Amino acid sequence: MHSSSFSDLALHPSIHRALARQGYQRPTPIQQAAIPEVLAGKDLLATAQTGTGKTAAFSLPMLHRLNEEPASGNTLPRALILTPTRELALQIDESLRNYGHHLPLRTAVVVGGVPAPPQIRKLRQGADIVVATPGRLLDLLNQRHVRLGGVEMLVLDEADRMLDMGFIRDVRKIVSATPRQRQTLFFSATLSREIAQLAADMLNQPAKVEITPSASVSDDIAQQVLFVEQNNKRALLTKMLKSGDIPRALVFTRTKHRANRISRQLASNGISADAIHSNKSQNARQSALAAFDRGQVKVLVATDIVARGIDVEGISHVINYELPNDPESYVHRIGRTARAGAMGTALSFCNAEEVALLKGIEKLTQSPLTAVEDHPFHSSAIAAQRQNPSAPAQRQNQPRGPRRQGQQKNTTRGQRQTATAQRQERKVARSPRPAQPATTAPPAPAPAPLAFGRKRRPAAN
């Protein structure tokens, strides 16, 4: 049985006070499931992603336990939280300071991209909890600026992301510098074989908690796809952002280079925009996020690596300028909208080469994206390709001019296939709906009424 109210959780009264101050009314499912296990001293293997309240799920019982059990008298850190990005580390530290507002516990943040001396000074003064990204912490460990022999509690946050980012050797080295006798809490959005192995190496008979399947998408997000040639994407994005229907947008690209370029192009078109990615200094990232949060910057262009660190309320639209290679990244990207009970829209620009990625996304999420056709750059050939993968929609990209014989033949077959797809589409539109919803996505027969607009919450009753 899990508690459904914070008062059912045996946390220190001053933590309850801090939670009330935060306006939290009841624990989220991950908190309900994890907190009692951690308070009981067990190791934990939790499958949960950002947005589920996982930070409080490990922070609250950590603060409680450190406060309950007397410190040994030295200044060594008693708890270590490893997380993949600077943004996440700063957010975790802020949460710890909020939740532990009335407790005498000190935190320190150890992250790369900023000068090390202030971090070293803080560690010397003594910190009960260290929140760190692996690279900088390993540097400080190697230089003997930090000792981890006093760690009683260890958290691995977003372990799958740390693995993706190539931190796994650093993580293993850091973990081997902590005592064997410790409590370990392992959080990951996904549980691949590699992650399961890492968890098995680090955990001792863990309690297992699985919350949201990694592919679940909130019903509060309207997911739409716009079929568009690659070389029209920029014009489409500019037009949409100038339409006035998009108050605050997060745009995703696959590369840092393109994120920079798009943000510059938008700015030169009079749209306030900035880029955020892992090549930017921490200060630049923080100030871009703060300006976005305050509404001074309307559009933030980001790459996947920083997606999870963006916890800004009021993002009305997530725009996938390019679809991610990995369908799970799509889920993380669009989860930046529809936060704190709001509704949101996720728009995906899909060129001919990305149709296969779109199918992968729909397969993972089991929720078809609605096609939006009433925009000036709609490509019906790419739309047809969604239905019929062999339709050579890319041909539209080629310059007009005399064709060689083989090309002509291909194009003719392509046109026949496209026409067949369109006939099939019309047939789908005419035929009655199947009793069971299809798991793969049929193209929307009519233009979506929601084009560019925000999904509206249905009126209550």
* Complex with ligand AMP: residue 168 or 312, whichever CB lies closer: 312
- Which positions ≥6 away from 280 have C-beta within 8 Å? 288
Distance, CA of 300 to CA of 318 (rounded, Å): 10
User: Quick one: CA dihedral 415, 419, 424, 428, positive or negative?
Assistant: positive
Distance, CA of 374 to CA of 226 (rounded, Å): 9
* Complex with ligand AMP: residue 55 or 417, whichever CB lies closer: 55
* Complex with ligand AMP: residue 32 or 253, whichever CB lies closer: 32
* Complex with ligand AMP: residue 53 or 206, whichever CB lies closer: 53
Q: Are 99 and 61 in contact (CB under 8 A)?
A: no
Provide the minimum distance between the beta carbon of 169 and ligand AMP in the complex, in angstroms, as a whole number: 26
- 359's enclosing H/E stretch is helix 355-365
Beta-strand ranges (E) seen in 228-271 are: 249-252
Provide the minimum distance between the beta carbon of 403 and ligand AMP in the complex, in angstroms, as a whole number: 54
* Complex with ligand AMP: residue 27 or 100, whichever CB lies closer: 27
Note the helical H segments in 49-154.
54-68, 86-99, 117-125, 134-142
Provide the minimum distance between the beta carbon of 314 and ligand AMP in the complex, in angstroms, as a whole number: 13
Provide the minimum distance between the beta carbon of 57 and ligand AMP in the complex, in angstroms, as a whole number: 7
Provide the minimum distance between the beta carbon of 313 and ligand AMP in the complex, in angstroms, as a whole number: 8
Distance, CA of 360 to CA of 354 (rounded, Å): 10
Provide the minimum distance between the beta carbon of 49 and ligand AMP in the complex, in angstroms, as a whole number: 7
Provide the minimum distance between the beta carbon of 311 and ligand AMP in the complex, in angstroms, as a whole number: 6
Edge to edge, the sheet with strand 299-302 lists: 273-276, 299-302, 249-252, 317-320, 344-350, 221-227, 370-371
Beta-strand ranges (E) seen in 120-264 are: 129-132, 153-156, 183-188, 207-210, 221-227, 249-252
* Complex with ligand AMP: residue 53 or 112, whichever CB lies closer: 53
* Complex with ligand AMP: residue 24 or 370, whichever CB lies closer: 24
* Complex with ligand AMP: residue 217 or 271, whichever CB lies closer: 217
Provide the minimum distance between the beta carbon of 207 and ligand AMP in the complex, in angstroms, as a whole number: 19
> Backbone phi, then psi, for 129, in 5-degree steps?
-125, 130
* Complex with ligand AMP: residue 24 or 451, whichever CB lies closer: 24
- 353's enclosing H/E stretch is none
- 349's enclosing H/E stretch is strand 344-350
Q: Dihedral (C-alpha) 303, 216, 198, 94: value to the nearest 10 degrees?
A: 60
Provide the minimum distance between the beta carbon of 285 and ligand AMP in the complex, in angstroms, as a whole number: 17
Q: Point out which residues bind ligand AMP (CB under 6 A).
A: 24, 27-28, 31, 50-56, 311
Q: Dihedral (C-alpha) 211, 169, 39, 19: value to the nearest 10 degrees?
A: -70
